[in-house]
Amino acid sequence: MMNPVEEYIFTVQPFEIDFRGKLTFPLLINKLLNAAGQHADKRGFGIRDINKINRSWVLSRVYLDLTRCPKDRENIKVETWIEGLLRTFTQRNFAIYDETGNALGYARTVWSMIDMETRRPVNLMSFGIDQYIHIKECPVAKGGKIILPDDTSALDTFTIKYSDVDINQHLNSAKYVEHIFDAFSLDEIKQHNTIQRFEIEYVEECRYGEKISIFKKEVQPNDFIIVLKKEDGTITCKSRILFTE
């Protein structure tokens, strides 16, 4: 049987780095999602395989603990494997390593498979996912409830455009993260040093053309809650970013 752990190797490219000379955080999430895609493709339950039967994967949670961000031109290895499978959810984990094998961070993610018409979750049994369930060290703290203080007012808004959307014309999971990080000024990112913890809960899909408001609050020193809402006030995603002192 195929190895349950997939390796996805990449080199940080010059146009993937931010003002710190490090891989932009949204692109780090993008790389994890690419690793997940490669793992699922090779094992027969990739998005293109399941699209044929009118199903699609939807990312619902990401919990990431990071010790440092990949640097410009650094060779990085992402390992990904499936840790658990429930009827309508599967848990996929990630480990991020530098060239010498030191772990830079770990992530836990939760996915569901949806019917592309109803957009409702479907039963995950019968895709042969269970045979790849694997237990491997993944030290990531459990996610708590993400609560935005009521007194938080909108910081900014954006409209979902061409480069934001996936093949279903929904805001792509990696682009959410880009919009969340764009809610921080360079000074905020500088003074808060490195990202230690990132959490995101995808609550409701957004379509092309929708206008999204960004709410952001520092609830504890270095600890931020960012929530994206639709025009009608519906929460589309909740996020938490904890910077190191």
Residues that bind its own copies (CB under 8 A): 13-21, 24, 26, 30, 33-34, 37, 41, 47-48, 72-73, 161-169, 172-174, 178, 181-182, 184-186, 189, 208-209
The smaller minimum CB distance to its own copies, of residues 33 and 233, is found at 33
Taking the complex as a whole, the smallest distance from the CB of residue 161 to its own copies amounts, in Å, to 4
What distance in Å separates the CA atoms of residue 180 and residue 240, rounded to the nearest whole number? 10
Tokens of 239: 């996020």
DSSP-assigned beta bridge partners for residue 90? 85, 111
The smaller minimum CB distance to its own copies, of residues 21 and 44, is found at 21
How many residues belong to the chain?
245
Residue 34 — φ and ψ, nearest 5°? -65, -40
The secondary structure element, H or E, covering residue 112 is: strand 103-115
Taking the complex as a whole, the smallest distance from the CB of residue 49 to its own copies amounts, in Å, to 12
Tokens of 35: 């690793």
Could you give the count of Cα atoms lying within 13 Å of 21 in the half-sphere of its Cβ? 4
The smaller minimum CB distance to its own copies, of residues 7 and 72, is found at 72
Taking the complex as a whole, the smallest distance from the CB of residue 142 to its own copies amounts, in Å, to 26
Taking the complex as a whole, the smallest distance from the CB of residue 162 to its own copies amounts, in Å, to 5
Contacts of 212 (CB under 8 A, 6+ apart): 157, 158, 159, 160, 171, 179, 206, 228, 229, 230, 236
The smaller minimum CB distance to its own copies, of residues 15 and 245, is found at 15
What distance in Å separates the CA atoms of residue 197 and residue 213, rounded to the nearest whole number? 23
The smaller minimum CB distance to its own copies, of residues 73 and 136, is found at 73
Taking the complex as a whole, the smallest distance from the CB of residue 231 to its own copies amounts, in Å, to 18
What distance in Å separates the CA atoms of residue 69 and residue 166, rounded to the nearest whole number? 26
Taking the complex as a whole, the smallest distance from the CB of residue 218 to its own copies amounts, in Å, to 16
The smaller minimum CB distance to its own copies, of residues 41 and 223, is found at 41
Taking the complex as a whole, the smallest distance from the CB of residue 34 to its own copies amounts, in Å, to 4
The smaller minimum CB distance to its own copies, of residues 169 and 222, is found at 169
Could you give the count of Cα atoms lying within 13 Å of 140 in the half-sphere of its Cβ? 28
CA torsion 135→114→29→134, rounded to 10°? 10
